[in-house]
Chain A
Amino acid sequence: MVAPISMIYSLHLEAELKNLGTIRDFVEEAAVHLQANPTAIPNVVLAVDEMATNIIEHGYRGQPGTIEVEVYAQNEALIVQIRDRAPLFDPTQVPPPDLSLPIDDRPAGGLGIYLARKVMDDIQHRVTADNGNELTLIKNHIIQLSSGGPS
């Protein structure tokens, strides 16, 4: 049986770097409303910011576009979905750095992706029905159900 999800907080805006602060504030406020552990929220905000920055800088590459962010809770997990219409790119396919290798032999990839992976429990990518990107960022055991839980 699939666990019910909470109310979904949604933000839709132009994919411009000047909007990164708005995205961060939105994710932080939604996480607070969903009763996420306050000490864990900054990591989620960082991961979303890094992914949104990648989409705007390397996905749209200065071309106009939109970015949509949804935040909700499912059981004790906080889930953030980011959708865009930039060219298809799956950041989960960027190989994780092999820290046993010499630095210069490590595969290239985004520093932001590295940090986002480090702070989230799971990141998934799928192609949407209208051929866009959808990233799902999951942080487990962050919602404080004991205090009433999300509704």
Chain B
Amino acid sequence: MNFTVETVQARVPVTILTPDCDMDGSNYRDVIAKAQELQSGGTRYLLLDVQHVRYMSSAGLVALHSMAKLMAGEGSPDPTAGWDAYHAVERDRAGGAPAQFKLLNPQPRVEKLLEMAGLSTFFAVYKDRAEALAAF
């Protein structure tokens, strides 16, 4: 799995991470590892551009949640925890969308998955890059 990484100075410095393929059980750990690497390097605000992600499974959702936790400085939950990870997502959802992590350009299948999992309002989702950057 390859990524494009770009840092843009908005109100705060925002790292834009763009994976180049689908997010599923075969690579979601790679996505989390990349986010951990960025966080260790000082990234605190992350915009995940999923324009190339045609398909995402529940493993991808766990990766999204892990990235949101990492940016919030809370560490990454166990990605293999299944419902426990989902519990954590739901607990966090009650607190509103995480401010430090946003999602850009989800394709229709990804949007539908977020909706089915009840997460379409948990992650702040944008279709416009400038609007997303301005929201940090």
Contacts of A106 in B (CB 8 A): 83, 87
Q: A111-B58, A112-B57, A115-B117 are in contact. Are A21 and B83 (CB under 8 A)?
A: no
- A56 to B26 CA separation, bound complex (whole angstroms): 10
- A118 to B117 CA separation, bound complex (whole angstroms): 10
Query: B85 touching A111 by the CB < 8 A rule?
Result: yes
Query: A53 touching B59 by the CB < 8 A rule?
Result: yes
Query: A108 touching B82 by the CB < 8 A rule?
Result: yes
Chain A 90-133 against B: per-residue CB contact (8 Å), 1 yes, 0 no?
00000001000001101111111011001100000000000000
Q: How far is the CB of B120 from chain A (nearest CB, A)?
A: 14
Interface: B20 (CB within 8 A): no
- A46 to B86 CA separation, bound complex (whole angstroms): 17
Which residue of B24, B91, B109 contacts A20 across the interface (Cβ within 8 Å)?
B24
Interface: B14 (CB within 8 A): no
Interface: A57 (CB within 8 A): yes
Interface: A70 (CB within 8 A): no
Interface SS of B by simple majority: helix
Query: A57 touching B25 by the CB < 8 A rule?
Result: yes
Query: B80 touching A57 by the CB < 8 A rule?
Result: yes
- A87 to B97 CA separation, bound complex (whole angstroms): 40
Query: B113 touching A109 by the CB < 8 A rule?
Result: no
Query: A20 touching B83 by the CB < 8 A rule?
Result: no
Interface: A5 (CB within 8 A): no
Contacts of A56 in B (CB 8 A): 25
Contacts of B80 in A (CB 8 A): 57
Query: B61 touching A111 by the CB < 8 A rule?
Result: yes
Q: A24-B55, A111-B61 are in contact. Are A103 and B91 (CB under 8 A)?
A: yes
Q: A49-B57, A115-B58 are in contact. Are A110 and B24 (CB under 8 A)?
A: no
A-B contact pairs, 5 of them (CB 8 A): A17-B24, A20-B25, A103-B91, A112-B82, A114-B83
- With A24-B55, A42-B109, A119-B116 already in contact, 17 other A-B pairs whose C-beta atoms are closer than 8 Å: A21-B24, A42-B112, A49-B24, A49-B57, A53-B57, A97-B83, A103-B90, A103-B91, A104-B87, A106-B83, A109-B82, A111-B61, A111-B86, A112-B82, A114-B83, A114-B86, A115-B58
Top 9 nearest A-B pairs by Cβ distance? A53-B25, A17-B26, A111-B58, A110-B82, A112-B58, A111-B86, A111-B82, A103-B90, A108-B83
